[in-house]
Amino acid sequence: MSNLTVGLAILGGLILAAVVAHSTWTSRRNAPKLPQPETLPPDVPANFIEPTLDGSPPEPQSVSDSVQDAALMPPSTMAGYIPDRRGGLDALIDLITPVQLDALVSGEAVLAHQPPTRRAGGKPFAIEGLNATTRQWDTLAHGQRYSALQVGVQLANRTGALNEIEFSEFVVTIQTFCDAINATPEFPDMLDAVASARELDQFASAHDAQLSFTLRARHAAWSPGYVQQHAARLGFVAGALPGRMVLPVISGGAITPMLGLSFDTQAALSDDPAQSAIRQISLSLDVPQVDRQEQAFKRMREVAAALAQAMDGAMVDDDGRMIQPESLDGIADDLEQLYDALDARELSAGSPVARRLFS
C-alpha cells in the first residue's frame, strides 16, 4: 500500500471522526436541558394539591419518575393548612331568597331533601340555616336545628350575568326543595333580579384582569424536569393539571395560588419527559383572585426575570417582541386603579366574594 493511500485513509478517518464528533456536539447542544440532581429537605410534605375555588381537591396528577426529584414540594410551614373555601352568602353578589319555616327543623331533615345539584345553569347557589342556638347563618350540618333558611344564587360570574332561564331554573329547584320540607320561599321579582345581575356583570367585566407573560428559550429547549426544577426553586409547586405549577400564598389560614406557570401538556405527559422539548412557558396572574397586599404583579415580574436569567430565556409578548420594563410600569399603575375600584365596591381582590365573582 502506497504512502498516498495510507495518508488518504488516515485523512478519511479523521474527517469521519470530526463529523461524528460534530454531530454528537450538535445533538447535545440542541437536546432539551435536563434538571440537575437535588436532594429534598427531610421536612418536605409528601403531597400538595393545588386548591380549587370551591375548596374541592382535584385528582392528584402523576409525575414521571425521571422528573420526580425536580417537582419539589413547598416547605413544611404550609403543612396543616386547608384550601380556602367559598364564603357565606353575601348580598353583594348573591340573590338571596328567604325561606320561612313553620317550626324548627333539624339539619338531618333539611339535608335529606336538599337539591341534587348546586347550580342553576352556570350559576352556583347555596342553602344556609339560621342556627336556633347560635342565631348565626351557617352551612347546613347534622346535629343542628334551624329556625329559618335562606337560599342564594350567584348573580354573576365569568360566564356572564344571571339570566331569565337560570332564574327560572333556580325558582323551580328551590320550590321543589321547599315543598319537601313544608317551607315557604319568598322569591324576588325576576326582572329586578336580572337587572341587578346585569349591572354587577358590567362592573365585573370592566374590572377583570388576567395577565400573562411568555418566557421563550433563547437557544436550547427545556425538558419538563428542567422547568419544574427552576420553578420549584422559586417556590412553585405541582398544580392540579399536568404541565401546570402554582406559586401558593398563605392568607387567612388557607393556601391560595398567587401565580400560575404552565407549559405544553403533551410534554408533561410524555413517556420520556427527558426528550420532550419545551421552547416556551407562560406565567399567569388572575388579579382579582389575589389580595392586593401580596403585590402579586411585582412578584410576577421578579419571577419572570429570575427564570429568564437562570434558564437562558427571554420574556416576550404575544407577537414575540421583547417586553420592555417601562411597559410593565404602566401596567402596575393601571392595576392600582383597578384595586381602588374593587375596594370601593367592597369587592376587594382576594376576598371570598371577589374570588367567587371572578371565577
pLDDT at 323: 87
What pLDDT, on a 0 to 100 scale, did the predictor assign at position 182? 94
For 65-84+208-357, which CATH superfamily applies? Answer: ZipA, C-terminal FtsZ-binding domain (3.30.1400.10)
Could you give the C-alpha distances from 344 to 16, 323, 341, 355, in angstroms and in order? 74, 32, 5, 16
199 vs 84, higher pLDDT: 199
Say how many residues make up the chain: 359
| pLDDT (0 to 100) of residue 317 | 82
Q: Which fold has domain 94-154+159-205?
A: Cell Division Protein Zipa; Chain: A, (3.30.1400)
CA–CA separation, 315 vs 215, rounded Å?
A: 5
Grade residue 250 by pLDDT with cuts at 50, 70 and 90.
Answer: confident
- pLDDT number for residue 51: 52
SS3 (DSSP) at 147 = strand
Question: What mean pLDDT comes out for the span 326-343?
Answer: 94
- What angle is formed at CA 77 by the lines to CA 285 and CA 226, rounded to 5 degrees? 55
Overall average pLDDT of the 310-336 stretch = 89
Decide if 248 contacts 258 (C-beta within 8 A). Answer: yes
CA atoms of 189 and 187, how far apart (whole Å): 7
Backbone angles phi, psi at 61, to 5 degrees: -90, 150
Residue type, 313: G
Contact between 299 and 259 under an 8 Å Cβ cutoff? The reply is yes
Interval 105-155: pLDDT, tens: 999 999 999 999 999 999 999 999 999 999 999 999 999 999 999 999 999
**pLDDT score for 48:** 47
- Given a cut of 50, whether residue 203 has pLDDT beyond it is yes
**Domain residues of the chain, as ranges?**
65-84+208-357, 94-154+159-205
Residues 173 and 114: beta-carbon distance below 8 Å: no
Task: Tell me what the mean pLDDT of segment 271-300 comes to.
Answer: 91
Beta bridge mates, 95: 153
Residue by residue, DSSP assigns 316-333 as E-TTSPBPPHHHHHHHHH
Local structure of 150: helix, strand or coil = strand
Q: Which grid coordinates are listed for 36?
A: 440537575
Q: What angle do CA 341, 246, 237 make, to 5 degrees?
A: 150
Helices (H), the chain: 3-30, 107-112, 164-180, 190-206, 224-233, 265-268, 296-311, 325-344, 352-357
pLDDT of 342 reads: 98
pLDDT digits (tens, 9 = 90+) for 14-72: 565 555 554 554 555 556 666 666 644 433 343 445 555 444 444 433 333 333 333 33
- Mean pLDDT for 200-228 is 94
Chain-centroid distance of CA 340 in Å reads 23
- Which triple of cell numbers denotes residue 277? 422539548
Which region among 69-78, 200-209, 338-347 has the lowest average model confidence (pLDDT)? 69-78
Say yes or no to pLDDT of 10 above 90: no
For residues 180 and 28, the model is more confident at 180
